[in-house]
Structures are given as structure tokens and as C-alpha cells.
A and B are shown apart, each in its own frame.
Chain A
Amino acid sequence: MLSELFKKIFWYLCLVGIIVFLGWGLTVMTDRIDYTWYWNRIPKYFFFTSEVEKFADENGIIHVKQIDEKFSQVSLEYDSGKTDAFKIRTDSLEFKDGDRVTDVDQVGAIQVFSQGILIIGLITTIEISLYSSVLGMIFGLVAGLGRISKNPLIKGLSTIYVEVIRGTPLIVQIFIFYFFLGTVLHLDRFTAGTMALALFVGAYVAEIIRAGIQSIHPGQMEAARSLGMNYFQTMTYIILPQAFKRIMPPLAGQFISLIKDSSLVSIIAITDLTKAGREISTSTFATFEAFFTIAGMYLVLTLSLSMLVRYIERRFAVSD
């Protein structure tokens, strides 16, 4: 019992050792190419503050109260009864306490807190992954049901879709969607990118769903049909609920993959996380920091999704 514990601790120490070794290797390598780390250049790409000029909206009276040596709390009491309050850098202030201001007078400079390109990119990546997951799920469900259809037309169309998408590189599909379909159908780059990703993931989802449905014992279909339920009811109430439980892990893997694959849309100039990383690296020359940062952010997204899935799986497993 105790030796088991020591064994475990030993292996954990080995794990930590390897991680430390890899980190040390990284510093040695960067030393060798004379790379200087500038991690301090990164945070402002998450959030930054900037100054904008603040103007009065109407006529009224100004009240100024110094808070510290740099900033003052300013409140405007307009004649209409409306009020406005904000923090202003004291030396940019154009009025004294009790002065009258008139409409569009410049009052001073206020600080605004803005999202940096990393956050904007992160949001775009989440949005594009979310939309293409939902669409891809619908495409996949339709094509997956089509693949097991007895009708040669439906089966043929679904098979062509799956084989064409799985047989060509995603990056080529994105180019075709943007440069060809996008031009013909006047799609903006976000729509083109989302559609390309949705069709891509749909083909893989279709195969997962087909396999899931075929793994359900045919007796289930027969029992439901023999009770007079039609094909659609049988699928909805009997086959798909059982199939989905089984295909949850591969399906989740596919959507986690999709988050990573979405980085390819940066080549049609969508400002996603990857594009944000490239922009930071070109403007700061902190190339390593920029790409390590976005790698970390992708990891946060994918790991939280897989944790969510594991939680859902555990909840589902209860009814077995």
C-alpha cells in the first residue's frame, strides 16, 4: 500500500522533471539564437486604456471634485434635468467647478478601457466555431441519415458530399468558398469562412452519426415500427437518443478539432485568434510570445470544451 504511494510519487516527480527539462531546453535554445523575451509587450493586446475627448451633450453646469493628484470626478448637471458623470485627467480639464458649459464644449480627456486584438480575435474564433458547429451538426445529421437511406438519389448525394469534403484539404475549401462562391453569391468573408468550416465538419459528423445509428441494434427499429410509429418518430424517439449517447465522445472530439481548424480562416483575412497572433508578432517582433499566447488561449478553449463534455457524459451515463 505504502510502496504503491511511493511509486506514484516517483512517477509524478519524473513528470515534473521532464516538464522542467523541456522548459530549460527552451531557454537554452532561445539563448543560442539571442532571443530576448518581451512578455511585457503582450498584455496590452488583451485590454488597453486610451484617452478620448469628452464633449458636453447640452447646456448646463459643471461640478468638479479632485479625487487624486491626477484625476477628478466631474459631473454635469444639464438644464433639461439630465446628468452625466465621468472621471477626467485634471490637467486636461477645460472648466472650473461651477462653470457653465454649452452644448458640444470640450470638457476634457477621459480614459476608456478597450478590448485588444487578442480578445477580439478570441471572440471571433468562438463565434465562428459556434456557428459552424451548429450548422455542421445540421448538415451532418441530414447527410448521416442520407448515407443510410435506401433511396439511391439521397444516398448518392450524401456520399458525394462526404467523400468530396473529406478528400480535399480544408484550406482549399476555404479558398474556393471565399474566392469562388463568395464572389458569385456575394458572401462576406465571415459568412464564407463559417460556411466552409460548417460543410467541412458536417462531412465528418455525418460519418459519426451514420456509424452511431448503425451501431443501434436493428431490433430497435423493428420494435418501434411494429408499434406503428413512422420512420421520423422512430428516429426521433428511439434511434437518435440512443445513438447520440454512444457518439458523444467522437462528436466532441470533432468539435474540439473544429476550434483548432478554425485557425485556417485567418488566411482569408478574418481577424480570428491566429490572425491576431500574426498581427502582434509583426508589430512587436515578440513572435514567440505572441504565438505561445494564442496557443495557450486555444488550449483554454479546447480544454474547457472537453471538460464540459465529460461532465455531460457523466450526467447521461446515469440513465444506463
Chain B
Amino acid sequence: MIKINNICKTFIVGAHIVKAVDHCSTDIKKGEVVVVIGPSGSGKSTLLRCINQLESIDSGKVFIDGVDITSLKTNINKIRAEVGMVFQSFNLFPHKSVRENINLAQQKVRKRSKTEANEKTDYLLEKVGIEQKAHVFPSQLSGGQQQRVAIARALAMDPKIMLFDEPTSALDPEMVGEVLEVMLTLAKEGMTMAVVSHEMGFAREVADKVIMMDEGKIIEVGDPEHFFTEPEEERTKLFLSQIL
């Protein structure tokens, strides 16, 4: 479903050239849950952001359902509507109510009527467990609630795949659970997901594949069991011993 083929992305930070993503290739099949781990600065978020072109890639190709998204002929807005994204810092629209946050793109991008959008929004808010909060503004919600609204906002577009960029790392510890629970439900319903996260419990429960990145490179790929029992690379062992 998603094919990442030998992509590179470099940033120029001051006088330094940082290879954030360095010749990475992998693929994500339909219904698969892929968890990307690695130390901070290893390029895992950049890899994720390359999938919906929030970062333009320097070389290589990304295919979503066979469509080359880096091609100039591709309408990137259409692709992005099919790829839901959840950010570390939620990025809800602070000047719009929860309902408006979820309705907006449905109406402007999917061209749904207000009634259709409202129905979808109500359904999703119930799904993420905050149906009473439709009318409030994001600043009145806790971090966990905000992140659940952000998930609902992405789901409202009926995406083919959901990208999660460290969805729980900005949350207070007691709110991590409620967000992971929503993600678990999604995974079990068969949603295709790519998750950058250090939540190894989550990875162990639902991941089909775990990718370990370091210094822009994919250094180890395997199922969660492999990572917990017999990681091959020294770097992986060291990293896992630090977070577990």
C-alpha cells in the first residue's frame, strides 16, 4: 500500500548538513501497524513526514497505492486527504470549537454538507470518548482530550492510513493511556498505521513490524518479539535498554 523507496532528506542547519533520512526503504501493507523507534534526532519523525510530503524529499520515491506522490503531476492535497496525521503537539485550531475543528476539512476538502459533517463528527467524538465536548474550545480540554480530538479530526477524512508522530510524548503520564486506547482500537479495527513512538507496550500488543532508526538510517526491522528477545544490532540493544 505504501512503498518507500530509497528516500533521502537533508537539512541545512547553520553550517552543517544533517542527513535526517539517509537512503531509507520500507513498505507498509494494508492493515499493517508499523512502529518506528529510535533515539531523538534519528530521523524517525522526518521519515513519517515524508510520507505525506510535509517534508519534500531530496531523492527517492514514495508510492501510496501505486501513485508516485513526489511526481509533479500528483495533486498532493488529494493525497494528504487520504493520509491522516496526528502530531506530538496536537495542533488543534485554537480559534475553532472541537466540532468546527473536525468539521472544517470535511466540508472544505471532502465537500460534505454541514449535516453530513456533523453526523460524522458526532460518531467520531463518541468513538474517541468525548462526545460531550463538541462545543468547547481546545484550550478548555486536557492534553489527552485534545489529542483524541486530533485523532478524530484526522479520522473524519476517512483516511487510508494514519500517521502518528509521537502522539503521547507531550502528554502527562496519566493521559497516555486514554490516547493509546483509542489507537489500540483503531489498530484492531484494521486501520493501516505508521506510529513513531516509544510506547513499547503498544508496539508489543499491536505492531506487525517495528523499525529501528539511527542517524537517518533504518538499522533493524522485525516483529516486536524479535526486538524484545533477540535484537541483533548493538545500537538497538543499547537503545532498548535505555527506554525499557
Interface of A toward B, CB cutoff 8 Å? 217, 219-220, 222-230, 233, 237-238, 241-242, 245, 319-320
Pick out which of these stretches binds chain A: B79-87, B127-135, B232-240: B79-87
Q: Is B73's beta carbon under 8 Å from chain A?
A: no
Closest CB in chain A relative to B101 CB, distance in Å: 9
A223 contacts which of B93, B95, B108, B139 (Cβ < 8 Å)? B93
By the criterion CB–CB under 8 Å, are A319 and B109 in contact?
no
12 contacts between A and B (CB under 8 A): A217-B89, A219-B89, A225-B77, A227-B80, A227-B109, A227-B154, A228-B77, A229-B77, A237-B108, A242-B94, A320-B137, A320-B139
- Is B104 an interface residue when CB atoms closer than 8 A count as contact? yes
Q: How far is the CB of A216 from chain B (nearest CB, A)?
A: 10
CB distance from B57 to the nearest CB of A (A): 16
Q: Is B78 an interface residue (CB 8 A)?
A: yes
Q: Mark B149-166, 1 if CB is under 8 A from A, else 0.
A: 010011001000000000
Which of A225, A228, A237, A245 sits near B78, CB closer than 8 Å? A228
**Which A residues are CB-close (under 8 A) to B150?**
223
CA distance A242 to B87 in the complex (A): 20
Contacts of A219 in B (CB 8 A): 87, 89, 91
In the A-B complex, the 4 residue pairs with the closest CB atoms: A228-B81, A223-B91, A227-B105, A219-B91
List B38-71 residues whose CB lies under 8 Å from chain A: 52, 54
Q: A229-B108, A230-B77, A320-B139 are in contact. Are A217 and B91 (CB under 8 A)?
A: yes
Are A220 and B105 CB-contacts (below 8 A) given A226-B85, A228-B78?
A: no
Residues of A within 8 A of B109 (CB): 227-229, 233
Assembly CA distance A191 to B190 (angstroms) = 65
Contact at B108–A226, with CB atoms within 8 Å?
no
Least CB distance from B136 to A in Å reads 11
Q: Point out the residues of chain B lying under 8 angstroms from A241, CB to CB.
A: 95
The answer for the CA separation of A219 and B150 in the assembled complex, in Å, is 12
Chain A's nearest CB lies how many Å from the CB of B189?
A: 21
A221 to B: closest C-beta gap in Å: 9
Residues of B within 8 A of A217 (CB): 89, 91
Please indicate which of the listed interface residues B78, B81, B92, B105 has the most CB atoms of chain A within 10 Å of its own CB. Answer: B105
Q: Find chain A residues with CB under 8 A from B84 CB.
A: 226
Extra contacts, 20 of them, besides A219-B91, A229-B109, A242-B95 (Cβ < 8 A), are A220-B93, A222-B85, A223-B93, A224-B93, A224-B105, A225-B77, A225-B80, A226-B52, A226-B84, A227-B104, A227-B153, A228-B77, A228-B80, A228-B82, A229-B105, A233-B109, A245-B95, A319-B95, A320-B137, A320-B139
- Measured between alpha carbons, how far is A245 from B78 in the docked complex, in Å? 30
What residues on B are CB-neighbors of A319 within 8 Å? 95, 137
Chain A residues with Cβ below 8 Å from B83 are 226
- Min Cβ gap A200→B in Å is 31
- How many angstroms from the CA of A238 to the CA of B89 in the assembled complex? 16
Chain B, Cβ-Cβ closest to A233: B108
- B153 contacts across to A, CB distance below 8 A: 227
Q: Is the CB of B105 within 8 A of A228?
A: yes
Known contacts A227-B80, A237-B108, A220 near B137 by CB under 8 Å: no
